A and B are shown apart, each in its own frame.
Chain A
Amino acid sequence: MIKLNNIIATYTTERGQVNAVDGLNLEFPSGKTIGIAGESGCGKSTLLKVVYGDLIYPLSLTSGNVEYGFTGDFGTEVTTKDIKDHWFKRISYIPQASMSSLNPVLRIRRQFVDFQGVDQDKEQILAEVREYVKSLDLPPEAIDAYPHQLSGGMRQRIMVAMGTFFKPDIILADEPTTALDVVVQKSILMLLMDIQEQMGNTILFVSHDMGVHYQLTHKMLIMYAAKAVEFGDSEAVFGEPLHPYTKMLTDSLPTIGDDHIREGVSGRPPSLWDDLVGCRFAARCPLATEICRQQEPELVEHKPGHFSACHHADQV
């Protein structure tokens, strides 16, 4: 289980400090795929960086900590400070831009064995890598190529293979298929689902595509303006959303064969620089009343396992 305890992540800029993730208290169960959705700037990628422990300037963790549910070599609890020692082995990261994540002047097999303690048995590890790549139905020759020789889809598959080679407990995927076509996207998501079922990893999957979330995830976290607004089982979040933002997000998308007029959500998310009082969605919300503008709603469990931060969750 991954436990987020009151996470506040701050970016330091010339204008001052801004909280990109503002007070997140959540528990993600193990062995499930957890989808994180929201618009750009809502803090979903920042949350992944915090969980990955990639806290380099200008990002810093102002308060809170992450409990990963496993202990380090000396039996001590792992926190965001020492999670770096477990990168790739227990926690791995699949980025969006595979072209800029792979070194363009090295063959992919060199990048596969580019970690400490590999000098003696490079050949053996390479053989294992080949075996593993083959078990994912990818051509083993692909790892002999340079990144530019592969298509975007194949590169992204290699990134998935790299991220899962050590069977990590936690996989963080930040929009891994956004730059790809639907056909390739489907096959990569299928690959990820197969791996998850075999190894039982916990996947935190960030995407802005609600369709992808519906296909892939067991649990959903919806974020809006640095806050969590809804968290629950995917079926419940899609079927009976308890936050008006989630409802507008799923309802606004057109589907093929349905000729209904769809309306977008008017307005824009608030600037995180402003003093935000009350519910952050209130200005765009059709249900907003006086209480929403004055009092900030807490993330409350309305139904078993289904959380929502809305004063009017029963009316959605």
Chain B
Amino acid sequence: MTTVLKTESLNKTYRLGGFINRVKINALDEVNLHVESDEPVIISLVGESGSGKTTLAKVILRLVYPSSGTATVYDEQVAGTGSNPSKNQFLSAIQPIFQNPFEAFSAYRSVDKYLQRTARRINAKSEKDAEAAIEDALASVGLKYQDVKGKYRNQFSGGELQRISIARALIPRPKMIIADEPVSMIDASLRMNIINLFLSLKEDYNTSFLYITHDLATAYYVSDYIAVMYRGSIVEFGDAKSILTRPVHPYTQLLLDSIALTDRKWERTQHGAADIEAKEFQFTGCRFRNRCPLAEDICKHERPQAISLPDGRDVYCHFAEETIQKMEITT
């Protein structure tokens, strides 16, 4: 089995403030993920803003150095002490797609220049070969080179532009694409085209995806694995379908409970502490305890360790086994 993605006690600490009022923020706190598969997989990373999703993506993309720990993608260490892949080699294995396609391309440079640059530089191709590679990549996202050549970003819709940035990422035939909120700026009617494109690229190009999102419905639709993050830590990680249909960690339950569905209305109950977000950075014990309905004394003092459940998922909660038992009784 190939190691698709593995992080070992990955930490990243940001320091804020001056000499006196300095605070440390653990943007990533002991993140342990491990996905092994011979098939390409789509791994989703979900959580609220400030949960460390983007920091994790940046660490894997070598844009941010981790404070400690390592990250490995397809058997090659990409972050942490001892990692030193050559830039071309790294970029031909891992490619990013960003949230806002209008910011990813300059207004004063035609978009095909970006495609050519990627093809020439990373694949080290001649101009003619580069053109063939670009044509191939554009065809796989349903566009033609003639329609793109010489045009600027304002001549495309958001959906088309996001397809072009996916095509750019595909030119080096990467093993993994890191997509940071790729559809949140795209209109609802076009969003599913991009999501379906991920599924077909996974089949046709054998590309794995790390799909970062806060939209749990699309995460359910595409992903094989899901990691739910809260305040820099993983709270639940494992098979996407089983986590999203039977969540065990109270935070995952809260997230799923808060989605605005189109077939069932919310219960109009008074909300307790669960929806109050605090701006605090120093934590001992479980980070979710202030909002957690199950919290007890042990959560204050002890950090929950990963509890592996029979269906293969890891849950970071002191009461995971009890929750599972309760769920079995009710079903």
Residues of chain A at the chain B interface (Cβ within 8 Å): 39-40, 149-154, 180-187, 189-190, 193, 208-212, 214-215, 238, 245, 248-250, 252-257, 261-266, 268-269
Known contacts: A182-B216, A190-B271, A238-B262. The answer to whether A253 contacts B188 by CB under 8 A is yes
B255 touches which one: A182, A248, A249, A252 (CB < 8 A)? A182
Residues of A within 8 A of B193 (CB): 264-266
Contact B260 A211 (CB under 8 A): yes
Contact B217 A256 (CB under 8 A): yes
Residues of B within 8 A of A266 (CB): 193
* A240 CB to nearest chain B CB (Å): 14
Residues of A within 8 A of B263 (CB): 214, 255
Residues of A within 8 A of B196 (CB): 261-264
The complex places the Cα of A253 from the Cα of B193 at a distance, in Å, of 11
In the assembled complex, 13 residue pairs joining A and B whose CB atoms fall closer than 8 Å, in A order, are A40-B158, A153-B275, A180-B49, A181-B48, A185-B260, A189-B260, A190-B271, A252-B188, A252-B192, A253-B217, A262-B192, A265-B193, A266-B193
| B132 interfacial by beta-carbon distance below 8 Å | no
The complex places the Cα of A40 from the Cα of B262 at a distance, in Å, of 21
Residues of A within 8 A of B262 (CB): 210-211, 214, 238, 250, 253, 255
* B69 CB to nearest chain A CB (Å): 26
Contact A265 B189 (CB under 8 A): yes
The complex places the Cα of A228 from the Cα of B316 at a distance, in Å, of 49
The complex places the Cα of A39 from the Cα of B191 at a distance, in Å, of 11
Residues of B within 8 A of A252 (CB): 188-189, 191-192
- Which residue of chain B is the closest to A256 with respect to CB atoms? B220
- Which residue of chain B is the closest to A190 with respect to CB atoms? B271
Contact A248 B189 (CB under 8 A): yes
Contact B188 A215 (CB under 8 A): no
Residues of B within 8 A of A261 (CB): 196
A256 touches which one: B49, B187, B259, B271 (CB < 8 A)? B259
* A284 CB to nearest chain B CB (Å): 8
Known contacts: A210-B188, A268-B160. The answer to whether A187 contacts B220 by CB under 8 A is no
Contact B49 A181 (CB under 8 A): yes
- Which residue of chain A is the closest to B254 with respect to CB atoms? A183
The complex places the Cα of A110 from the Cα of B261 at a distance, in Å, of 38
Cβ < 8 Å to A, chain B residues 23-70: 48-49
Residues of A within 8 A of B194 (CB): 264
Residues of B within 8 A of A268 (CB): 157, 159-160, 190
Residue of B244, B255, B263 with highest tally of chain A CB at under 10 A: B263
Contact A254 B221 (CB under 8 A): yes
Q: How many residues of B contact A (CB 8 A)?
A: 42
Contact A254 B192 (CB under 8 A): yes
Contact A151 B266 (CB under 8 A): no
The complex places the Cα of A257 from the Cα of B266 at a distance, in Å, of 18
- Which residue of chain A is the closest to B245 with respect to CB atoms? A257
Known contacts: A187-B275, A211-B260. The answer to whether A255 contacts B192 by CB under 8 A is no
Contact A215 B265 (CB under 8 A): yes
| B327 interfacial by beta-carbon distance below 8 Å | no
- Which residue of chain B is the closest to A178 with respect to CB atoms? B184
Residues of A within 8 A of B221 (CB): 254, 262
B261 touches which one: A185, A255, A262 (CB < 8 A)? A255
The complex places the Cα of A210 from the Cα of B274 at a distance, in Å, of 24
B233-267 Cβ-contact flags toward A at 8 Å (1 or 0): 00000000000110000000011101111110110
Known contacts: A253-B262, A268-B159. The answer to whether A183 contacts B188 by CB under 8 A is no
Residues of A within 8 A of B290 (CB): none
Cβ < 8 Å to A, chain B residues 267-287: 268, 271, 274-275, 277-279
The complex places the Cα of A252 from the Cα of B194 at a distance, in Å, of 12
| B214 interfacial by beta-carbon distance below 8 Å | yes
Contact B191 A264 (CB under 8 A): yes
* A252 CB to nearest chain B CB (Å): 5
Known contacts: A184-B277, A209-B260. The answer to whether A193 contacts B192 by CB under 8 A is no
- Which residue of chain B is the closest to A148 with respect to CB atoms? B279
* B283 CB to nearest chain A CB (Å): 16
Cβ < 8 Å to A, chain B residues 194-219: 194-196, 214, 216-218
- Which residue of chain A is the closest to B265 with respect to CB atoms? A215
- Which residue of chain A is the closest to B189 with respect to CB atoms? A265
Residues of B within 8 A of A212 (CB): 260
Contact A151 B260 (CB under 8 A): no
Residue of A153, A186, A211 with highest tally of chain B CB at under 10 A: A186
Residue of B49, B196, B216 with highest tally of chain A CB at under 10 A: B49
Contact A153 B277 (CB under 8 A): yes
Residues of A within 8 A of B268 (CB): 190, 193
Contact B192 A183 (CB under 8 A): no
Contact A40 B255 (CB under 8 A): no
Contact B218 A186 (CB under 8 A): no
